[in-house]
Amino acid sequence: MIPQGNRAVFWSVAILTFWFTLSFMGFPKLVDSWFIEKSVWVWISVICWLHFPVILFLYYRDYKYTDLILLSVLLVWGFIQFDSHWVWLFKQPDPERVVRYYQAFDFWYILPKPEGRIVPDAYHTILHFLLLGTFGVWLRKVILRLR
């Protein structure tokens, strides 16, 4: 049984883990499997993913430092995701960077694609909202605990 105070964070992390897992398996017209690529990003993604089953287990066991572990993972992963997918919406990218990005991530989009800018595809947009949502649930838990 998941402890009452950990349920919202546990399920938020579980949904985030499931969504992130889709990038390893691949899902037609949403995200390609990254194991097709031979790149350092596959290993970084695997390392990020391995934290989540551990965090889920620690929340299940009600380990007292799990909130700090989750915060560190969310901050590092959020920075990597922002730097990889969102920064070029605000900065002007090189034209060849735009072409490379859209060759790798050209599926469907939630946000409109302005000319000469890079906008994250729907998979990464949803992933970022799940990251922010998990951070929000975590923050609510920490604030309620401090009261």
**Count of domains observed in the chain:** 1
Q: How far is CA 36 from CA 25, 53, 74, 104, 116, in A?
A: 10, 23, 26, 12, 28
- Per DSSP, the residues of 99-118 read HHHHHHS-S--SS---TT--
Residue 19: which of 117, 116, 131, 139 has the closest Cα?
A: 131
10 close to 59: Cβ distance less than 8 angstroms: yes
Give the tens place of pLDDT for each residue, 80-139.
888 888 888 888 888 888 888 887 776 788 888 888 888 888 888 999 999 999 999 999
Predicted pLDDT at 29 = 66
Q: Which residue range(s) make up the domain with 84?
A: 4-146
Predicted pLDDT at 34 = 57
Give the tens place of pLDDT for each residue, 105-120.
767 888 888 888 888 8
